[in-house]
């Protein structure tokens, strides 16, 4: 497949309700949609760099720069017949995982379409449905939180994740456990604590949490090993893991016992698969994280979460949990039993709704060979 044309589309989508975390409050989500036109097939990907550098140093602007000045020129006009042929062309670019992952995802989609197979199949997926959970931001009161959890459990979600921050932690876990002693429950701190807060986590250890996600520094592996040593509850790393090497270090140091895989955070599905396979070989469960993606990125997440070692429900929720209208058809829905169907049509398996995409477009740029 010769790469004829690449388009970057900066989107901004309004969330159905503000998402509050230890990193701040988000009212809308900005990402970059990457469209790759080969000589006969079109692929779509989503770069999950956000408008702000609060979760990651990458932003829409840095990803746009890296994509337009380095990654796109590396493949435009070239003959690319597998993702493995593309990656070495841009691998001298260090970091900027989200920029790379968006372009890689669009190539995966186009190449799967060229083969006439689903992205799930192309990536080595083994499931027709995946188990899904929901990530709930910090609410204005415990009562609000209980109401949201009740609603999501009724919708079928198999696992609840709540965001925590200093001053908004133990009391939330206690209130939820009182009401729901047996649900799969986990917390995500987004790096808001230090080892000085060890007491809080030791107390949390009594509430049978599935895991504690990224309690300490966003690049840290060492301090997490000190915390994990003191806890029964598995620590799960998100922010600290950008590669297979980070994963290996974290597991060898016993810094975590579960890994959150987000293809955007590690540079794409190729690196994600190395991490997935390594974790499987070490009996480390993985689950699929989320970045409030539109349906384009979500489709990739759903396909990737169909691999065999995704044994815990992911942060992959229905389109409507995030946005009033998604930019793909059909939208993603959650079944009453807390599962989501893995698309079976070629590539990402959903159609881009061009009218909706246009409505959320902030700017775009076309690169011709
Ligand atoms: O830490 O997992 C996170 C969203 C944006 C940035 C970071 C995170 C999140 C979420 C939401 O928790 C997951 C989702 O449902 O997409
Ligand atoms: Mg997280």
**Mean pLDDT of all residues belonging to the chain:** 98
For residues 313 and 204, membership in a common domain is answered with yes
Which residue is closest in CA terms to ligand 1's atom 14? 290
Total structural domains within the chain: 2
- 346 within some domain: no
Q: How far is the CA of 292 from the centre of ligand 1 (A)?
A: 6
Q: Average pLDDT in the 96-103 region? A: 98
Q: For residues 156 and 110, state if they share a domain.
A: no
| Whole-number Å distance between alpha carbons of 231 and 91 | 38
- Rg of the chain over all Cα atoms, to the nearest angstrom: 20
Domain that holds residue 61: 5-116+354-368
Claim to verify: residue 155 and residue 60 sit in the same structural domain: no
Q: Is the CB of 133 under 6 A from ligand 1?
A: no
CB 63 within 8 A of CB 50: no
How confident is the model at residue 6, as a pLDDT? 98
Pocket residue to mutate for ligand 1, from 16, 21, 159, most atoms within 8 A of Cβ: 21
Is the minimum distance from the CB of 291 to ligand 1 under 6 angstroms?
yes
Over residues 340-348, the mean pLDDT reads: 98
What's the token pair of residue 96?
A: 């900027």
pLDDT at 17: 97
CB 139 within 8 A of CB 167: no
Q: What is the CATH number of the domain that holds 311?
A: 3.20.20.120
Query: Please, are residues 103 and 67 in contact by the beta-carbon 8 Å criterion?
Result: yes
Domain annotation covers residue 347: no
* Closest ligand, as measured to the CA of 138: 1
Ligand 2 center–CA 333 separation, angstroms: 22
Q: Enter the tokens of residue 177.
A: 């456990």
274 and 138 within one domain = yes
Whose C-alpha lies nearest to ligand 1, atom 5?
A: 291
List 100, 161, 262, 273, catalytic entry: 262
Is the residue at 10 inside a domain?
A: yes
263 Cβ inside 6 Å of ligand 1: no
Residue 33: pLDDT band by 50, 70, 90 thresholds? very high
Among residues 37, 39, 43, the alpha carbon closest in space to that of 112 is found at: 43
How many other β-carbons are positioned within 10 Å of the β-carbon of residue 156?
A: 17
Distance 315 CA to ligand 2 centre (A): 9
**177 closest CA partner among 188, 169, 185:** 185
Write the pLDDT tens digit of every residue in 126-143.
999 999 999 999 999 999
In angstroms, the CA 84 to CA 100 distance is 13
Q: How far is the CA of 238 from the centre of ligand 2 (A)?
A: 5
Cis peptide preceding 330, ω within 30 of 0: yes
Residues 128 and 108 in one domain: no
% of residues, the chain, pLDDT over 70: 100
Is the Cβ atom of 56 under 6 angstroms away from ligand 1? no
Indicate the pTM of the whole model.
Answer: 0.97
Q: Ligand 1 in contact with 55 (CB < 6 A)?
A: yes
On whether residue 267 sits in a domain, the answer given is yes
Is the same domain home to 283 and 134? Answer: yes
Q: Is residue 349 part of a domain?
A: no
- At 22 the pLDDT is 96
Q: From CA 8, how far away is CA 184, in angstroms rounded?
A: 39
Assess whether the C-beta atom of 315 lies below 6 angstroms from ligand 1.
yes
Q: State whether 364 and 296 are in the same domain.
A: no
CB 32 within 8 A of CB 339: no
pLDDT in tens, 160-202: 999 999 999 999 999 999 999 999 999 999 999 999 999 999 9
The two three-digit tokens of residue 189, written as one number: 């701190």
Q: Is 163 annotated in the active site?
A: yes
Residues with CB under 5 A from ligand 2 (ion): 188, 213, 238
How does DSSP assign 114-181, residue by residue? Answer: HHT-BHHHHHT---SEEEB-EEEPPPSSHHHHHHHHHHHHHHT-SEEEEE-BTTBSHHHHHHHHHH-S
What does the alpha-carbon distance between residue 231 and residue 251 come to, in Å, rounded to a whole number?
15
Give residue 70 CA to ligand 2 midpoint distance, Å: 29
Q: What is the structure's pLDDT at 324?
A: 98
Q: What CATH code is carried by the domain that includes residue 91?
A: 3.30.390.10
**Residue 239 alpha carbon, nearest atom of ligand 1:** 1
- Is residue 225, in this structure, part of any structural domain at all? yes
Residues 107 and 142 in one domain: no
189 and 255 both lie in a single domain = yes
Q: Give residue-wise pLDDT tens across range 297-342.
A: 999 999 999 999 999 999 999 999 999 999 999 999 999 999 999 9
**Ligand 1 binding pocket includes 317 (Cβ within 6 Å):** yes
Residues 135 and 279 in one domain: yes
Alpha carbon 262 to chain centroid, angstroms? 4
| Catalytic member of 100, 161, 163, 273 | 163
233-290 pLDDT per residue, tens:
999 999 999 999 999 999 999 999 999 999 999 999 999 999 999 999 999 999 999 9
29 vs 7, 19, 48, 196, 233, CA distance in Å? 19, 10, 9, 33, 32
Q: How confident is the model at residue 159 (pLDDT cuts 50, 70, 90)?
A: very high
Percent of the chain clearing pLDDT 90 (strictly above): 100
324 a catalytic residue = no
**Is residue 43 domain-resident?**
yes
Residues 109 and 129 placed together within one structural domain of the fold: no
pLDDT for res 41? 97
173 plus 289 within the same structural domain:
yes
- Binding site membership of 190 for ligand 1 (Cβ less than 6 Å): yes
């Amino acid at each position: 497949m010769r790469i004829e044309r690449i388009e970057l589309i900066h989107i901004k989508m309004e969330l159905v309700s503000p998402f509050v975390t230890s990193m701040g409050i988000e009212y809308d989500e900005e990402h970059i949609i990457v469209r790759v036109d080969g000589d006969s097939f079109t692929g779509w990907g989503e770069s999950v760099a956000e408008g702000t550098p609060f979760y990651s140093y990458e932003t829409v602007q840095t990803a746009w720069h890296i994509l337009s000045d380095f990654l796109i020129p590396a493949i435009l006009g070239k003959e690319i017949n597998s993702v493995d042929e593309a990656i070495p062309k841009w691998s001298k670019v260090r970091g900027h995982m989200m920029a790379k992952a968006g372009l890689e995802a669009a190539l995966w989609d186009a190449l799967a379409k060229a083969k006439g197979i689903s992205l799930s199949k192309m990536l080595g997926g083994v499931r027709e449905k995946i188990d899904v959970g929901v990530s709930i931001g910090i609410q204005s009161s415990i009562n609000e939180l209980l109401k949201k959890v009740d609603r999501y459990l009724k919708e079928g979600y198999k696992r609840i994740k709540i965001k925590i921050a200093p001053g908004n932690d133990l009391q939330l876990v206690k209130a939820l456990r009182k009401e729901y002693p047996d649900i799969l429950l986990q917390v995500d701190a987004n790096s808001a604590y230090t080892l000085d807060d060890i007491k809080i986590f030791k107390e949390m250890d009594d509430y049978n949490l599935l895991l504690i996600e990224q309690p300490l520094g966003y690049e840290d592996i060492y301090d997490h090993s000190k915390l994990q040593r003191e806890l029964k509850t598995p620590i799960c790393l998100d922010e600290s893991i950008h590669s297979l090497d980070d994963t290996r270090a974290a597991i060898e140091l016993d810094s975590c016992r579960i890994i959150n895989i987000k293809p955007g955070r590690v540079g794409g599905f190729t690196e994600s698969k190395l991490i997935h396979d390594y974790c499987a070989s070490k009996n480390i469960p993985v689950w699929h994280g989320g970045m409030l993606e539109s349906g384009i990125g979500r489709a990739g997440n759903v396909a990737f979460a169909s691999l065999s070692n995704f044994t815990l429900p992911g942060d992959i929720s229905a389109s409507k949990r995030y946005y009033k209208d998604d930019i793909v058809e059909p939208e993603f829905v959650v079944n009453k039993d807390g599962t989501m169907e893995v698309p079976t049509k070629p590539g990402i398996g959903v159609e881009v709704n061009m009218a909706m995409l246009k409505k959320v477009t902030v700017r775009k740029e076309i690169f011709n060979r």
